[in-house]
Amino acid sequence: MSEMVAVLTGRRKWVALCFLALGVSMIILDATVVNVAIPTMVRDLGLSTNDAEWINAAYSLTFASLLILFGRLSDRFGRRLIFTVGIIVFVAASMLVALGAGATEIIAARALQGVGAAMILPSSLSIINAVFVGKSRAIAFAVWGGTIGGMAALGPLVGGWLTTYASWNWAFLINVPIGIIVLIGALITVPETKDTHARKGFDIAGILLITLGLAGLVFALIEGQRYGWITPISDFHAGPWTWPLESISIVLVVGIGGILALIALVIVESRKAAAGKVVILDLRLFRIRTFAFGNAVALIVSLGEFGLLFALPLFLQATRGYDALQTGVILLALAAGSFLASGLGAPLAQRFGPVRVLQGGMVLEAVGIFGLGMMLSTEVTGWQMAPWLFLYGMGVGFATAQLTGVILAEVPVADSGQASAVQSTSRQIGAAIGTAIIGTTLIVGLGNVAVQLTDRGVPAEQAQVISDAVAGSAGQAIPGLAALPDGEVLVSGASEGFANAITYVAWVAGTFVLLGFAASLTLPRNAARIESEGYEPPVEAEHSGA
């Protein structure tokens, strides 16, 4: 055996799981809370639009690009060690964001938050894979998955409450007490596990290629809409430096560079592994069918899984007049569904098998999304949306937990850190692609606001100007139209156009989830079934180290 394993038993394992889930909830909550806090930060600190966008992008960029690196390091140096260091880094960075007085220090602190999050997420999942066995592991995966889905929906509520009744600073300072509790709890209840026979040394070339490759790819996916996919549509600034080329977008250059780095990574790592040298990513894991196909499903389903959550708050606030707190309350239905699914997932997986529960979850997601698509209108209420959001949340809870279990079912425990990181990276890249597609769909749909306005007698030239303003603000210019001449007509037409656009978004998001369901049909029907019934797959003795 090349793995230092400490299987948890009795009440302690559930206490440990609570602290692991709380640590994960902190980073998921932060990723969504900031979306609500940014408008207030812009007003209080005088930030530019570019500054505000980079506050989000800096976090996403470091988070997604470092997952695999820290997942591998956790296998080698200790999963609890990386988890606790990640908590410390994340809490310290949160304090720096809250105390920041300008754009530069806040953006740098957000990037540091991403580093901490990249340490926490894969190591927490790897700890669960290493110290829980049999039925307990299935339940632990369900709780982990339900936490992600539920916290993604709770974020806007928490952010809205804090920014309304406290200040934007508390959207980040809330991480301090949570982080301290998680840190103390993890040190007391979570045992250390690691790959004790990993080869010494570092794969410097692999580390550089995988970090730069993922950073380039994620940057392109996040920023393509803003700066232009091929030719520049707006200036790119990094401090005093400005992208100098007028015919080629920085997104195209960085994106191609990222893809080339990832291709080089595959070539370099394959040759090193064949020569018995240390590698950062053991590509032999992709020979495991459930791991390879499971990651493909994770990427595809992530294209649409949370895409609607990006656009729905914009619609509710621009056309229905809800504030951030009210929007968060409406999304509680999704969180409730996700948390319920986390409790039901394990027993259902015992009876029907994890793959069937996974597929059922994706069907529920699609039903919820398409149901919302049919309900969304300028007159829709939160109560009318709640049943569909609840179904959507249940689907997310079932699918996230079971897909995680399926992907890791046949992976040797000694490699669980990098395997956990790969599946998290697949989800992040899928979410980045999905957000880009959903954002484009929304903007294209909002571009048709002019049709609604001209149908109401607005002159074509004025209708086009208003349509451009609505599309450029993601709909947030709609309430201000009431102050213009014939404001009621303008608001009515623009709101109807937004309702049509959000419906298109729902169809696109639901279609991606159905594609994920189709991809799941490639998974073995009984994947992870044996393990969930109490049998542990053998741990391989040969590993490639960090």
> Is residue 505 within 8 Å of 106, Cβ to Cβ?
no
* 3-class secondary structure, 238: strand
pLDDT at 527 over 60: no
Contacts (Cβ under 8 Å, ≥6 apart) of 485 = none
Cβ neighbours around 201 below 10 Å, total: 10
Amino acid 358 reads L
The more confident residue out of 437 and 472 is 437
Say how far apart CA 397 and CA 55 lie, in whole Å. Answer: 28
So what's the pLDDT on residue 387?
94
Structure tokens at 256: 């191609």
- Beta-carbon contacts of 291 under 8 Å, excluding residues fewer than 6 positions away, are 285, 407, 408, 410, 411, 419, 422
Query: Is residue 194 helix, strand or coil?
Result: strand
Q: Is the pLDDT of residue 104 over 80?
A: yes
pLDDT at 373 over 70: yes
Residue 125 is predicted with a pLDDT of: 87
Residue with tokens 């499903």: 297
Could you give the domains of the chain? 3-202+278-449+499-531 (1.20.1250.20), 203-277 (no CATH)
pLDDT band at 335 (very low <50, low <70, confident <90, very high): confident
Q: How far is CA 74 from CA 48, 80, 364, in A?
A: 38, 8, 35
Report CA-CA distances (Å) from 260 to 123, 209, 214, 234, 410: 28, 9, 10, 25, 30
Q: Given this model, what pLDDT does residue 353 score?
A: 85
For residue 409, what is the DSSP state?
T
Query: Read out DSSP for 447-467?
Result: TTHHHHHHHTT--HHHHHHHH
What does R_g of the chain's alpha carbons equal in angstroms?
23
Q: Given this model, what pLDDT does residue 392 score? A: 92
Residue pair 127/527 in contact (Cβ under 8 Å)? The answer is no
Question: CA distances (Å), 457 to each of 377, 477, 497, 523, in order?
Answer: 21, 20, 15, 55
Cβ count within 10 A of residue 240: 5
* pLDDT tens-digit series, residues 229-282: 899 988 887 767 889 888 999 999 999 999 999 999 999 999 988 888 888 888
Specify burial of residue 390 (Cβ count, 10 A radius: 0-12, 13-18, 19+): buried
The pLDDT value recorded for residue 2 is 52
Phi, psi for 292 (deg, rounded to 5): -65, -50
**Model confidence pLDDT, tens digit, residues 477-504:** 888 888 888 888 898 988 898 889 899 9
DSSP letters spanning 247-271 = SS-HHHHHHHHHHHHHHHHHHHHHH
Confidence class for position 198, pLDDT limits 50, 70, 90 = low
In contact, 536 and 1? CB cutoff 8 Å: no
Q: Rounded to the nearest 5°, which phi and psi values hold at 8?
A: -85, 145
Q: What is the dihedral of CA 122, 127, 130, 132, to 10 degrees?
A: -120
> Mean pLDDT over residues 450-461, rounded?
88
Tell me the one-letter amino acid at 440.
T
